[in-house]
Amino acid sequence: MSAAATPSVKASPLPAATLARFAKEVAKYPADQKQSAVMACLAIVQQEEGFVSRAAEDVIAAHLGMPAIAVYEVTTFYNMYNQRKLGQFKLNVCTNLPCQLRDGQTALEHLCHKLGVEEGGTTADGLFTVQKSECLGACADSPVMLVNDRQMLSFMSPERLDELVDVLRANAAKA
């Protein structure tokens, strides 16, 4: 077979180690249900790359044998998956009704004003991205927020928000 007749195989934009991690997640499900690993695969990419690119979604789709649009639907449905590079600190402020009734929108606007960004924006120094979020499940503690999809903070008054920003800024990783 000549080189011209050899089918081309497109290289994955993800490292082999990432694909190996995918395989471990897929192995947890019956062969006919490997698509169930989609969220785990997205989380792996998010952890390794900091966000989930369209190219990564395509690789996940191919790996799981599902349409790319189905992976995209999962990525865009959950706010824990970033579709672009964000700041070192992702600040999600709940703006669902219970938090709204207890100044959730005010908290969001205060953060945006303090950091000089619009909602969804990232500060020029790359430290902070401020986003609104749907219910975080702590309505009694509103307004609440989530830092880097890991740390829940309650009763976020303007004073507590200012203190949080100062602490995060002081402890930011120096790039």
124-127, Cβ contacts within 8 angstroms, sequence gap of 24 or more: 126/87, 126/88, 126/175, 127/87, 127/88, 127/89, 127/168, 127/169, 127/172
The reply to whether CATH 3.40.30.10 applies to domain 89-170 is: yes
> How many residues does this entry show for the chain?
175
* C-alpha angle 31-34-37 in degrees, rounded to nearest 5: 145
Round to whole Å and give the CA distance between 150 and 65: 30
Give the pLDDT score at 6: 39
Instruction: Give CA–CA dist 60/53, Å, rounded.
Output: 11
Cβ neighbours around 89 below 10 Å, total: 21
- Average pLDDT of 108-134? 95
**Which of 41-45, 70-74, 96-100 bottoms out in mean pLDDT, i.e. has the lowest?**
96-100
Q: What is the average pLDDT value for the chain, to the nearest integer?
A: 90
The more confidently predicted of residues 137 and 67 is 67
76 pLDDT higher than 50? yes
25-53 confidence digits (pLDDT tens): 999 999 999 999 999 999 999 989 889 99
Q: Which comes out higher in pLDDT, residue 112 or 13?
A: 112
For 150, residues 6+ apart whose C-beta sits below 8 A from its C-beta are none
Q: Is the pLDDT of residue 8 over 60?
A: no
* Amino acid at the residue 77: F
pLDDT above 50 (res 16):
yes
Q: Given this model, what pLDDT does residue 11 score?
A: 53
pLDDT at 12: 65
Say what the pLDDT of residue 3 is. Answer: 45
| Alpha-carbon separation of residue 71 from 19, 51, 76, 84, 163 (angstroms) | 16, 14, 9, 16, 38
Pairing verdict, β 151-153 and 145-147: antiparallel
Whether the pLDDT of residue 10 is over 80: the answer is no
Residue 78 has pLDDT above 80, yes or no: yes
Q: Is the pLDDT of residue 81 over 80?
A: yes
pTM score, whole prediction: 0.74
